[in-house]
Structure 1
Amino acid sequence: MRLVLFQRDECHLCDLALEVLAQARAPEFSSVWIDHDNTLEALYGERVPVLRDDDSRRELDWPFDAAKVAAWLAQAN
């Protein structure tokens, strides 16, 4: 599982998502900022933060809490 969190600079929801991922004890993930990338902006502009599993292409859109993240991660196994 290769997790990516799509987010923006200066995004309070993205900051909350980072806290939720820590609470859920999510595995290591990389962060991708969509600012200044037209393709990512078109895909994720209104949806950030979005957690994606690059292996399965599954995505979890905000809002999510620790329980929802844990359930989403468990579905991958």
Structure 2
Amino acid sequence: MTKVYTLYGTDCCHLCELAEQVCISAGIMACVEKIDIANDEQLVDLYGVKIPVLKNNSTQQELNWPFDAQMISQIKPKL
């Protein structure tokens, strides 16, 4: 199943853990694929100083931390 969102982050990142909790609170965690950027040099170059980053995979819109449930609702796909 294709996930609607991608959450870029890394292990042992307290901000990434907070971002995951925001996704849970917003009710979208089941639609989120978590990607650890640590083992991908291109992702480290792209997101290394921005993580956590939540990306809407269909629109390519990204939210850099800090974000909240209201901000997530602004990038939700239209049904």
TM bin (shorter chain):
0.7 to 0.9
Cα distance in 1 between the residues matched to 2:57 and 2:75: 14
> How does the TM-score come out when normalised to structure 1?
0.87
Cα distance in 1 between the residues matched to 2:71 and 2:63: 9
Q: CA deviation at 1:11?
A: 0.3
CA RMSD of aligned residues (A): 1.4
Q: Deviations over 1:15-38 (max 9, x none)?
A: 000111111112511010000211
The letter for the 1-side match of 2:32 is F
Cα distance in 2 between the residues matched to 1:67 and 1:55: 19
How many residues are paired up?
Answer: 75
Structure 1: stretches of 5+ with no match in the other structure: none
Displaced runs of 4+ in structure 1, greater than 3 A? Answer: none
The letter for the 2-side match of 1:28 is C
> How does the TM-score come out when normalised to structure 2?
0.85
Q: CA deviation at 1:65?
A: 1.3
Q: Percent identity?
A: 35
Structure 2: stretches of 5+ with no match in the other structure: none
- Counterpart of 1:62 (choices 59, 65, 72) is 65
Partner of 1:41: helix, strand, or coil?
A: helix
